[in-house]
């Protein structure tokens, strides 16, 4: 498996918007969906290609049409690492079980010594097993905590969050007959700023494209590095200009290490709860080990031809091809929304889809974890559910933030 790492730099405001079904206002998204990147690249290749791109066996068909086509993940805001390196920090989605202070939320920094952010998944599981209500408070001031989401990275052994700034651009409508400003026709477009006003930093996004064919990966990376692109809407009005830098490397996953670290944290935390509350009401399943599915993007899930927001053990076995009758689902933290879009190739609106929001967490246990590890590593770059080539259904196994407990809030 080859991974093309993308570094996207905004050179002009980006109008990457989404219009909720039934709404009249298009809001700017805080990231660039994989479907937008995929559509822009495919559209530009089609416009520049003189040959028939639909010819069987063609590179275009292998990249965008065939069953094993390229998977374009979402591009999330990030920043450069420390030192002279131009490498962007890897960025992840905080799990839905992460919380922070209601009055002063956010990660701890040198200038901001608040209660920080910590995860509640393992503690909630232990509390339910021991028959107790788990209602944590802020470790600094004892105040109420609430769910805390968004994008984060780890920089110099310290966690930091990422976001983008937006603004409204007001425009006037043009009378097509006179080619002058039309009276009483004003409209506004919400856009992502090309620079961050707080520190005047560049607006940068990080993404990946996954491909099995190494030759195609090299060709696609060369194409991305040698062409200019415009992402989002209103490109004819000067918006959406970006610079994309692509680098090909072998996909290197650390899934097994994260699973082992998560199970160690579970065992240690279970023993701490046992020292305080003695015997649990619900003992741990004998011989079982644990893993989580953490959604890094929205997912379109279907079970028995019906939309759902829960991945059942039967669904997971079908997705991975692993036959495990002992697989159990212990906890689900998910929410839903609706997504639509525009298909440039067909010139039509896409269907409105029920999606499970990014950040969703599913806690599973199994008596045969070793047989699951290869399948789970494959799941991380192939995704779950429908429309995975467009960036839907990207998951991470055992997000490392689950190991950040209240007394070690970051």
Please write down the HEC assignment for all residues of 205-218.
EEEEEEECCHHHHH
Task: Indicate whether 165 pLDDT > 80.
Answer: yes
Report residue 22's pLDDT band, with 50, 70 and 90 as the boundaries: low
Query: Please, what CATH class does the domain formed by 255-408 belong to?
Result: mainly beta
Residue 283 pLDDT class (50, 70, 90 cuts)? confident
User: Does 291 score more than 90 pLDDT?
Assistant: yes
Q: Is domain 2-90+163-250 given the CATH code 3.30.70 in the classification?
A: yes
- The pLDDT score that the predictor gives to residue 168 is 86
Is pLDDT above 60 for 52? no
pLDDT at 179 over 60: yes
* Segments making up each domain of the chain, as ranges: 2-90+163-250, 255-408
Please give the average per-residue pLDDT across 210-218, as a whole number: 91
pLDDT digits (tens, 9 = 90+) for 137-152: 888 778 899 999 999 9
Average pLDDT (81-92) is 77
pLDDT at 349: 79
User: Higher pLDDT residue, 238 or 118?
Assistant: 118
pLDDT, mean over the chain: 87
Least confident of 23-32, 37-46, 185-194, 346-355: 23-32
Q: What is the pLDDT of residue 331?
A: 94
Token digits for 207?
A: 């993404």
């Amino acid at each position: 498996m080859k991974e093309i790492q993308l570094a996207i730099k905004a050179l002009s405001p980006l109008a990457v918007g989404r219009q909720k079904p039934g709404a009249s206002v298009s809001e700017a998204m805080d990231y660039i969906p994989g479907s937008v990147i995929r559509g822009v690249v495919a559209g530009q290749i089609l416009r520049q290609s003189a040959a028939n791109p639909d010819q069987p066996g063609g590179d275009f068909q292998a990249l965008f049409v065939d069953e094993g086509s390229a998977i374009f993940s979402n591009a999330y805001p990030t920043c450069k690492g420390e030192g002279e390196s131009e490498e962007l920090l890897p960025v992840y989605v905080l799990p839905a079980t992460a919380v922070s202070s209601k009055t002063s939320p956010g990660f701890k920094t040198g200038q901001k010594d608040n209660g920080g952010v910590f995860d509640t998944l393992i503690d909630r599981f232990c509390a339910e097993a021991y028959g107790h209500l788990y209602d944590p408070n802020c470790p600094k001031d004892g105040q109420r905590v609430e769910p805390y989401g968004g994008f984060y990275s780890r920089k110099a052994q310290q966690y930091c969050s990422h976001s983008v700034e937006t603004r409204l651009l007001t425009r006037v409508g043009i009378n097509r007959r006179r080619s002058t400003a039309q009276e009483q026709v004003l409209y506004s477009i919400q856009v992502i700023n090309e620079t961050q006003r707080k520190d005047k930093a560049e607006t940068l996004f990080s993404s990946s494209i996954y491909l099995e064919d190494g030759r195609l990966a090299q060709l696609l990376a060369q194409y991305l590095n040698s062409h200019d692109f415009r992402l989002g809407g209103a490109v004819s009005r000067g918006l959406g200009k970006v610079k994309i830098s692509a680098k090909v490397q072998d996909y290197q996953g650390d899934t097994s290490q994260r699973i082992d670290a998560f199970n160690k944290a579970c065992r240690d935390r279970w023993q701490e709860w046992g020292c305080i509350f003695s015997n649990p009401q619900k003992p741990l399943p004998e011989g079982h080990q644990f893993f989580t599915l953490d959604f890094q993007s929205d997912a379109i899930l279907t079970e028995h031809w019906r939309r759902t927001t829960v991945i059942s053990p039967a669904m997971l076995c079908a997705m991975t091809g692993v036959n495990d009758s002992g697989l159990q689902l212990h906890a689900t933290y998910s929410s839903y929304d609706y997504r639509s879009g525009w298909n440039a190739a067909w010139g039509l609106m896409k269907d409105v889809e029920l999606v499970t929001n990014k950040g969703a967490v599913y806690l599973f246990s199994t008596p045969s974890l070793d047989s699951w590890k290869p399948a789970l590593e494959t799941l991380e770059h192939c995704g779950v559910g429908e429309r995975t080539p467009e960036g839907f259904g990207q998951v991470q196994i055992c997000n490392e933030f689950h190991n950040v407990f209240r007394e070690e809030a970051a």
